[in-house]
Amino acid sequence: MGLALRIVFALLVACLAPAAAAFAQAQSGFSLRPAAPDPAVPASQAYFILTGAPGQSVRQQVLVTNSAASPATLDLYAVDAATGATSGAVFPNRDLTPVGPGTWVRLGQSQVVVPPGGQQPVDVEVRVPADAKPGQYLAGIVAQPPASAAAAPTTTVATKQGQINVATTTRVVVAVAVTVPGPIERKLTVLGVRSSSGPLGTQLVVSVRNDGNAMLKPQGTLRLKDGSGAVKATIPLQMDTILPSGTADFTIGWPTDLPPGDYQADVALDAVDSLPTGGAASPSAAATPHVDYASGSIAVKPVAIETPNGGASGAEPIVVRRDAPAGGPESWWPYALAALAVVVVGNVVLLRRLRRPAEPPRPPIAHVAMPTAVAATAPVVLPQAAPAGERPRFVKGRASTIYLLQEGTKRPLAGWTAFVACGGAPDLSNVRLLPEEQLNAIPTGSPIAAPEDARAS
């Protein structure tokens, strides 16, 4: 990123910090967690880690906490978990009736009213079916405001294209992991490696299936070889949870220094348990599963990357590549000052609009309420990809980084140039401010370099 754009981006983040803080404080202040975690298993503070034999019932309590200044009326219900498109555990909306482990969960109340700053325990019973097979299963308990409740905090931001309403409806999920005792098999299968074309250029997609009965996190490397067998690139692979019988397509950006052509991909994967190991939480001891896979020939073709205004670049790069703007150090000052003025005005408008009456919310994005200290070990919920025809979705927290939500991961943008090149609106109308807890719960994907950075590399 050029010096001018770095300064403009820093000023932009500094000016938006007050608005971000005000918006985060306006979020719903309720959360879910196990009422009686196991002191020997820190992750049990964030989600339930249970063991139940076939036909057995396990009784627990979930603690509903309301940190807001007004009473919270919340609907409670259970759902099945599933593997996200790019790995990680996801939990559906309430209109999808559970047919798996979600049917094992019985709640003592379907609705609860929690006073301001208070807590309310709710009985939870997990009934393991008599015909349940050994293995690990995942469900979720969800809390959300009733459909008829008052709308979530909403603000209206004026842009050149018109007014944009930004509303947030929070769904909080606490995962329920159940291990049915018996033989635990850890097995991964690499289904294939292929190339695909997306808005950011050529990508590699590694398809992995969990053929065992334990929840696993695959990790390893992918090596790209040319026609002579020479290794041209080694790429680390770090995937999130894949549930038993689940499949994930892990996406990797094509290395910027490799030309188009025919390549072979060698994948080497190991896997670690998603559930904590050691002590009572470990179902059994077993060797770490390992899998090696060699693909056939993968044809990588040049892709013309569309510019934000709909045109195409003159060259045919593999990833986003642009020439740096002409001009010496003195040429960027007018742009920096103009951008700063726009940001200051927009920030004032946003802060004023935050105090306006609420409007009906948009469809919710679920997240897992968990302490940051154990977020790395707990199953997470991924936001769904934007429907076809919608603008790309961007999010940010208190820090300066803006992320692109893509296939269930948040991909950090190197700076303002990368943000605009990926479809980011200069007035930030498609950037959503998230609480740090919700942002941390979203798995981080591969970073997106600024066009000039990609070109330089």
pLDDT over threshold 60, residue 264: yes
CATH (one of 3.40.1440.60, 2.60.40.10, 3.40.50.300, 2.30.31.70) for 30-180 = 2.60.40.10
CATH class for the region spanning 188-300: mainly beta
The pLDDT tens digits for 83-116 are 999 899 999 888 889 999 999 999 999 999 999 9
For 391, other C-beta atoms within 10 Å of its C-beta total 11
More confident of the two residues 136 and 14: 136
DSSP category for residue 242:
B
pLDDT over threshold 70, residue 175: yes
Tokens linked to 424? 């980011």
Angle at 383 between CA 214 and CA 191, to 5 degrees: 45
Residue 386 CB contacts under 8 Å (≥ 6 apart), including other chains: 392, 393, 405
The pLDDT tens digits for 278-337 are 444 444 545 678 999 999 999 887 655 444 444 433 333 333 232 333 333 334 444 445
Angle at 218 between CA 214 and CA 221, to 5 degrees: 160
pLDDT over threshold 90, residue 143: yes
Among 273-277, 284-288, 337-341, 419-423, the least confident range: 337-341
pLDDT of residue 427: 67
Strand ranges (DSSP E) for 35-161?
48-51, 57-66, 72-80, 82-83, 89-90, 105-107, 111-114, 119-127, 135-144, 154-159
Q: How far is CA 431 from CA 115, 154, 316, 420, in A?
A: 32, 14, 29, 12
pLDDT of residue 159: 58
Report whether 366 contacts 438 (CB < 8 A).
Answer: no
pLDDT band at 222 (very low <50, low <70, confident <90, very high): very high
pLDDT band at 15 (very low <50, low <70, confident <90, very high): very low
pLDDT of residue 165: 65
Among 123-132, 156-165, 205-214, the least confident range: 156-165
Beta partners for residue 335, in sequence order: none
Tell me if 30-180 shares its fold with 188-300.
Answer: yes
- Please report, for the chain, the start and end positions of each structural domain, with discontinuous segments joined by +: 3-26+316-456, 30-180, 188-300
More confident of the two residues 232 and 387: 232
